[in-house]
Amino acid sequence: MATSLQVIGTWILIAIYATLVLYFVIKGAVSTKNISDYAVGNVSFSPIAIGLSLAASMTSAATFVINPGLIAIYGVSGVLSFGIFFPLASMGSLIALSKAFRKYGQSVNALTLAQWIGIRYKSKAYALFMAFLSLLLITFIVLILVALTKVLSKSLNVDELYVLTGIIIFVFGYMMFGGANSMVYTNTIQAIIMIVVTVILLGSGYEHFKGGIDAFISKLSNIDPNLGKLTNPQSLLFRDYYEIIFAQIVVGIAVVCQPHIITKSLLLKNEKDVNKFLFTATAVQMLFYSVIIVGLYARLTFPDLSVEGVPLKTDGIVPAYVLYMFSKGLFSVIIGLIVVLGLISAGMSTLEGLIQSVSTTITTDIIKVLFGKNIKEHSYIYINRLVIVLLAVASFFIAYDQLINPKLSVAILAQNGVYAYFSVAFIPILLGIFFKTSKLTAPLVASITAFITHFGVYYLLPVLVSKYDLNLGFFTKYLEGDIRNPAIASSTAIVFSAIVGLSITYYQNKKERKMILV
């Protein structure tokens, strides 16, 4: 429970934060005249500001709140997975894909990822398929809402239902008007706050390192021997190096293929700014990823994962840690409030990007495509606002269910949805960027392969293994139990779709070369 001083401070903090956000939303909204302005903006920003905005968008409440909770439960193996291999893969992929994607995105004037794919492969049906698939990103919106609700409900001592309702009304409300223009302003401020908070959080556990890293690991091992090991056979996510290294590298490479991430480079007005933008984004992002270690601090603080005899839910571990660590004395409470602000910023930054990208996709790539003949162009900005309202309603009910009926963590729901999306999108983007002659067949078949494989591995294969007692070797253990690792399904889907897509591309190119020779 938060102290009265913490509650009062949090309310003051929320009031200041809300005022600043609304100021920049109004500032951005003045420049937003149509759906194109809402999607990619019409204001010139510095590459550093856009880089900070990207880092803030990529770093969600999952990085600051949800994933550290999983680390608290499973230990060092999770740090390797979420804090080293996944970040290195995702940053390398971001650098490689962003430059090429921006060049083609600018030349075709694409507003969304679905549009980019549709224009690249000259297929409206393909674009529509990707647009409907983007609805899976609602699961990520839900994750952030749950994380923000956990942080604020504990900081304010208010029931989670009321906090969730307030967050949705506020964020979805102002996102109806601001769009890309206001997001760069708000994301930049949020990123700066998050940098400060990352440093504070990383330093909050310095006392645990007295005696060195070996002593730190030893303390974890004294609680549970598996916490200090590089693999944790008892976990649901970090059982072996296939799960920790291979699956996370594959997923990390593909993760940038999300609308609110890869399309951020389209905000750059000059080609010469790309390197500065990417350097800023990757440097800050790597700092943010390091905050994962806070989960280990939390486990050392709460060895039995309870506070005053009350068990902590996975998604509530980090909020409880922050309230506990920064509750002694006025100065400590002030520092704690800054940390709370950082956790809020981590959630809001990505939430804004997701609302903007998903609503734009629904408006321009689904509604406009299906019903555009009966709608006037100037009406889409108003339709987009209605879409945001509907997104808010859907997100509320799913998020509330996750609050009262969590399965380990909301991260499982979010990963399953988001991973499925970029598993399907990755190969089409890869072929579209690096294989200029690639035609529709290869990416389309690759997408269908990824879709079937991901959901087949996650939902169908476990049923078959259980019913017929199938033995798939080392892979069998990933298919057992009610809670499974979405990274296994996603990495398998990406590998299979890559084999299919690249094979078809190779065959098509070989056939064309023969025709030329003949």
Report the DSSP beta bridge partners of residue 306: 311
Higher-confidence position of 309 and 239: 239
In this structure, the chain runs to a length of: 518
Over range 473-477, report the average pLDDT.
Answer: 90
**pLDDT score recorded for residue 262:** 75
Residue linked to tokens 């704690």: 336
User: If DSSP codes are grouped into helix, strand and coil, which group holds residue 307?
Assistant: strand
Which residues, other chains included, contact 461 with Cβ-Cβ below 8 Å and sequence gap of 6+? 479
Residue 322, classed as helix, strand or coil, is: helix
- Asked if pLDDT for residue 175 goes beyond 70, the answer is yes
**% residues pLDDT > 70 (the chain):** 92
pLDDT of 252 reads: 94
Are 118 and 124 in contact by the 8 Å Cβ rule? The answer is yes
pLDDT of residue 30: 67
Residue 41 has pLDDT above 60, yes or no: no
| pLDDT per position as a tens digit, 415-436 | 999 999 999 999 998 898 888 7
297: which residues sit within 8 A by CB, 6+ positions away?
204, 205, 208, 321
Q: 13-22, 121-130, 170-179, 211-220 — which is least confidently predicted?
A: 170-179
> How confident is the model at residue 395, as a pLDDT?
95
pLDDT of residue 258: 76
> Where in the chain are the domains?
4-404
For the ranges 116-130, 256-270, 284-298, 402-416, the lowest mean pLDDT is seen at 256-270
Average pLDDT value for residue range 183-208: 85
Superfamily of chain region 4-404: Sodium/glucose cotransporter (1.20.1730.10)
Q: For the CA atoms of 355, 361, 363, 365, what is the dihedral angle to 10 degrees? A: -170
The answer to whether 340 and 10 are in contact (CB under 8 A) is yes
Instruction: Supply the pLDDT for residue 182.
Output: 66
Which one of 24-28, 181-185, 348-352, 448-452 scores highest in mean pLDDT?
Answer: 448-452
pLDDT at 33: 64
Tens digit of each residue's pLDDT (9 = 90 or more) over 204-247: 988 988 889 999 999 999 999 999 999 999 998 999 999 999 99
Distance CA 151, CA 68 (A): 13
pLDDT band at 308 (very low <50, low <70, confident <90, very high): confident
Q: What is the pLDDT of residue 389?
A: 94
Q: Grade residue 269 by pLDDT with cuts at 50, 70 and 90.
A: confident
What is the average pLDDT value for the chain, to the nearest integer?
86
Please give the model's pTM, rounded to 2 decimal places. Answer: 0.87
pLDDT band at 59 (very low <50, low <70, confident <90, very high): confident
Mean pLDDT of the 363-392 span:
88
Stretch among 66-70, 441-445, 478-482, 491-495 having the lowest mean pLDDT: 478-482
Could you write out the DSSP letters of every residue in 256-277?
A: T-SHHHHGGGGG---GGGHHHH
Average pLDDT over residues 491-514: 88
Q: Which of 387, 378, 395 is nearest to 357 (CA)?
A: 387
Q: Which residue has the higher pLDDT, 56 or 230?
A: 230
